[in-house]
Structure 1
Amino acid sequence: MNLARIRFHKRSVIVTWLVSYVSVLLIPIMISGILYAATWHVVESEMNRANTSALQQMEQAIDNSLRGIERISLEIALSKLVTGFIHTAKPLTDNDYYDLVSISSDLRLYQTANDFIEQIYIYYRNSDTVISTRDHTNSRILYEKTREQETMSYEEWAKFFAKPYMQEYTPITFREDGQALKAVMYAKSVILANPDQPGAVILFVIKDSKLLANIPSTSTKTSIAVLDKENRLVASTGFEARSAFLDYGKLTGKNGMFMSDDGDQRVAVSYITSDSNGWKYIYAIPAELFDDKMAYMKKLIYASVILSLLMGGVVTYLFLRKNYIPINVLIRSFSMKSGVSFHEGSNEYGYLQDALNNTFAEKEQVDRRLHQHRDAIRSHFLQGLLKGRLEQNVPIHESLAAHDIRLASPHFAVLLFYVEHYGKFDLGEHAPPEKVRMLHFLIMNVAEEVIGDANQAFITEIDNMLACIVNFGSDPDADELKRIAEQVKTFLLDHFHVHLTVAISEIHQELYGIPPAYQMTLAALEYRLVMGSGEIIRYQDLPSSETAGPSRSYYYPLTVEHQLINLVKAGDFEKSNAIINEIIEINISDASLSVPLAKCLMFDLTSTLLKTMDEIGTSSHHRAFVVNTDQIDRLITSSTIKEMKGQIREVLAEVCQFIQEGREQDYNTLSQQVIDYVKGHYADVNLNISMVGEKFELTPSYLSKQFKAQTGEALLDFISRTRLEEAKRLLSLQQLSVSDIAKQVGYSDINTFNRIFKKFEGITPGKYKDIQ
């Protein structure tokens, strides 16, 4: 395969590989660059070390010379002859000239003691006399010889000596014998007892050529300079003009090295700082000296880079060709067999990944569908096993093996789980199918976990219930089935508030005993009509089974039914509810009531209650009885006797409350009518209980009893109290006699009036009238 035929698309794996190989190829090139930089640093460090060594030698030589000059200045300043001439004033005397000669002679001795000293001057400000090693003169002549700059005026020069005390170095241009030379002047004041008196200054002139004479030089191209703290160029050699880097402020730190431009060439500058006077000693060499030392190293680096590029390019080509051939073959194979075409410009690895993902996705989808169908087929097989509908053409052992069912023993039983209430899974009247499936799945897992490893469980959904075939692993035990049912029921109730009714069959032998066991669970589940929902019902406990005890006859006699009807009509809820509870308790107390008889009992009780309600509504004089349709529907559609019992209690409470309210309304109407009648006829002497009873067509005793029941007061007492209220009003008016008042309130006999008045008021009518 030729790489020239490959199109280098930006997404192709070829580009990725090429970038990877080039990245690897850059590593030796980068290493070569690092080696070159490291070599440059080493050479630079060696150069700096050599320059620093030379600068330290220069610093040591100059500092020693300067310290020697400072010692000489101290000796001169302490000379009595020198200090004694300070007080001399103009004009000079012969003795003064003699002292001048002596001082000059001493200065020549000091000059010869130090080779660095070019000339020594002592300037006496009091007499304006300057003494040197040769002669004496004045300050004007000294100004001409030791000016710092040509443009400096005499006054500016004189200010330098006007300081009260000085001990410093300053660069000057020294003029002598018609020549102008660069030099350094050291000035030191002679200390006087009286600081206000003009003193003297000792001046040492040092040529910079002598100052730098003993400094070693590694090359003729080397430049040396000395800067003082005032950034003045004290001495230099090799510099035609002051360079930009000769700046005291830029030379930070005690020592250092840097690269700088000096005119048209680049130089490497090293410097150190003197500890004694703070001068900067500067050493500058051309940068080409570095280049000469690095030239061979550059050649090696260039050769290494070129060789790496050549060999790396060849290796890259070979590996690209070798690695792409199998990828190309694989892509062609996938493209032809999978039907997924490879588009030019796509990434080969991306194409392979998409093709593999597509293949795996199809495989997973096929497996998932097979798994779904396998579960459905297995569930269908278990349903057929429960209902006794198995394929006759397929041996049973082959069907078991096909559905991965391995039996531990020939002993079987069936548990049937019926969900009474969904608990936390309840979402209203119509629960979503996925919630129901989730709950069924939960029940399956709990049942399988409880049954445990000792026994096997095969669970399937059938007719909106869950049937569990239990295959015992050891000796079968009927109590073990009840324990399993109780644990499953308790767990779901405690954790999810799910109410279950569990039906348990008897234990059967062989697979052909499973259908009869399933029918037993259906019969046991039907008996929930008697026992109620949320119970564990074993088939062997049913009245119709052979193991049950003798059955009790159906109990609901006509006398009890008539008694119940009368109590309901009377509105006595407590007694009527007690009779219903007694009827139900007698029928189901020993669990001997069969399902058909239980249905008859539910029908009879419901019928009795409905007939009584209809009769109450028809016989009501004041308003018709309104029947709650929802309650009646729930009463008729009750699925268990316990449920029906609760519904009957609700309906019965409503009926009795209606009857009681109707009676209270009738009673309240009668008492009010009697009160109004008595207040209108209290003056009638014939008014009594019999007269009122005849008015309302009631017997005196019944009328008196109902009136007291409604008002809490006897009717006869109410008649007497009404008459006495009117009598007290008339007595307080003081217009009629007691006998006349008795007749007006319905008493024909005055003695009867007096007796009744004293009975209720405690005093006679006469006394009552007197106190008003």
Structure 2
Amino acid sequence: MKINWRWKGMLSRWLWSYAIVLLIPIIVMAVTHLQTQRVIEDEISKANSALLSQLQQEIDNYIDYTYRLSEVISLNPKVSSLIRSQKEIGTAERISIVQLLAEFKAYNITKRYVSGFYIYFHEGDFVLTDSSYYETDMFVQQHLSPMGVSLEQWRGYLMQMHKGSFSTLREFGGERKGTIMQTQSLPLQLGSVPLATLAIELNEEQLMSSISNIQSYNQGKVYILDAENKLLATSETEGHGERVFDIPRSEGEQRILKTSAIWDGEEVILSYIESGRNSWKYVYVLPARLYSEKAEYVWNMTVLMLAVAAVIGFIISVLLARKNYSPLRRLVRNVAERSELSIINMSESNEYDYLEEVLDNALDRYTLMNRTLEKQNKTLRSNLLTRLLKGRIENGFPIADVLPEYGIKLHSEKFAIVLFYLEDYSGFFRQDEQDAEKKREFVHHIMSNIVEELAAQKHQGWMTEVDEMLACIVNFRPDTSPESALEDLKNLIEEAQRFIGNRFHILFTISVSSIHRSSAELPVAYLEALEAMEYRMLLGVQSIIWHNQLQQQKPSYDYSMEMEQKLINNVNAGDFLGATAMLDEIIDSNLAGDNISVDMIRCLMFDMCSTMMKAAMETNMDRSELYEENLQAIRELMSGSTVASMRERMTQFLHKVCGYVDERKKSNKKIRLKESVLAYISENYQNQDLNISTIAEYFSVHPSYLSRYFKEQVGDNLTDYLNKYRVEQSKTLLQLPHIFIRDVSEMVGFYSISTYIRLFKKYEGVTPSVYREGKSN
């Protein structure tokens, strides 16, 4: 494909660029030849002014960026929340710190203007940087001690009130020159006591690079001063006396000013400009002797250089433009021949624009292809592992050749299967996250990564989803004995359950197969783990069930007609304690003997549900309500509910029925129970353990019954009444100024001051501190 020369192409642009570059020195030399030393001085001054203006604009960009970054960090709600709760760092605060670190990295990802920032929390005495969390001593030791800053100097400086001011490390003891830092006290509300200090350090390397662009011109020195003429940064090296600047603030419009001084026995010219944004002054110092030297040199060389530069420059410009354009031309031609994008419509763009468009298009397609292949590979690997577990691999299938294609390389022929049944993971997500499928996929992703990583510490494992559960195929090393394999497997699942439960609040039950010595036995191992998972009903949630520990199953259960009749009689008599004791006796006697099968336990639960129904019907309760309760119990049994949860459901049902019977017998005692509960709360509200359960236990009633009864008699539920009563009692204590608010919260029975403040504001409309101030006034 032929690419013609175009007016807007790169060849013409390069020719123009070289011509312009060539034209600049020619013009400068011609003007210098015709002008006197005064004109030379003016030209030098203009050059200094241009560089100073450029430096001012660039440094102002640093300051503007710093102010914006300071505002974004200061107004971050997670930062505000962490400031308020810095004394008590709990799980929620640590999660918030992890999220803040991710956001901080995004704030200053380029590090062009700011090299880093950190927040010092006064009361918590820790530091949060843009990349990590530090204790104060460790932060000072790693980041400030090498610069000569002590902990006391640094802390004393940051504990002061700061309003976005700039300073250097020398102002609080540092030995390093040039490090400029902006400090801002937090929170930003007017009149607030500083609880934390934000420190943002300008990028010293970029700053000095900007200064060096001016310093390289005419052997000058560059200085940056603040509004009080304090030195912030300079291009001058050490080894001289302390520079003193007596530069007045500029009045009126912003412009370049000059003055002279004697430094180190030599006259210098100071050109400076003041920033209209922060009153900083940018000073450029040049020896006065350079003016006359340059004037004489330019006078002698102007005529000669003018002619030579014009001729040689033109020849070199043409040759270089043609030489530089040749590779670009070949590249564009080759790309155009292989690309779907035509070069014909390049009239409004140049060759680089065309190459950029081609590369963008190719990279987008490459990224999309990689994502598609990665997703397909994960799906195919999961499908292969599932087929292995369920024994759906055809005879002759080259499994040993296929597994390495999915990153699976067997250590040995020793395997075990671990099944994970998710019980609850609601504590890991916010309440406003409603997409159940996305939450489930995210939890599966977390568990798969963690379990595979734990398995890889000694052996290796691969996770896959099967039958609404997660299965891990654990492959042991060839030199592992059966005893060591079992011990390693035990450590693996216990660590997985502990770490995932504590860190992510994900609860699950685990079942483990026996160890098998062939990959062909994987389906058998999976069935063993599945059979062991059935015993979740007996052993409860979050248990670890080993198949090799299951005993011989008993094919029957003990539930005679005499037991059934005793249970019904207790219900009819309204004897809740007797009924629950009989219920526990029936269930415990069947679980305590020989190992009963899961199917027999289900039959027992069905049988007892029928008994519950008979007993309730004899009390003349509403039939529709009974049917609904019984139907819900049957559904839970069918969905794999545990014996413990079924026992709890039956206990609640017995309490409901017995309460119904007892209600008819004890209707005349309700008023006395209400008065007793109110009196008990009045006498014991200071006890932090006082709640609906302890009150119900004291009066020998069920908590759910007491809750409903209290709501009917008083109008508020018991918890709200108790919180209101504690808040009301605290108002008297708040009028005593010598008692701290934290002590007040403990004296009226609250566990934490944050709970007390939240409830006080809920019921009184203001915080305790505002209420105390209003009373004191």
State TM-score, norm by structure 2.
Answer: 0.48
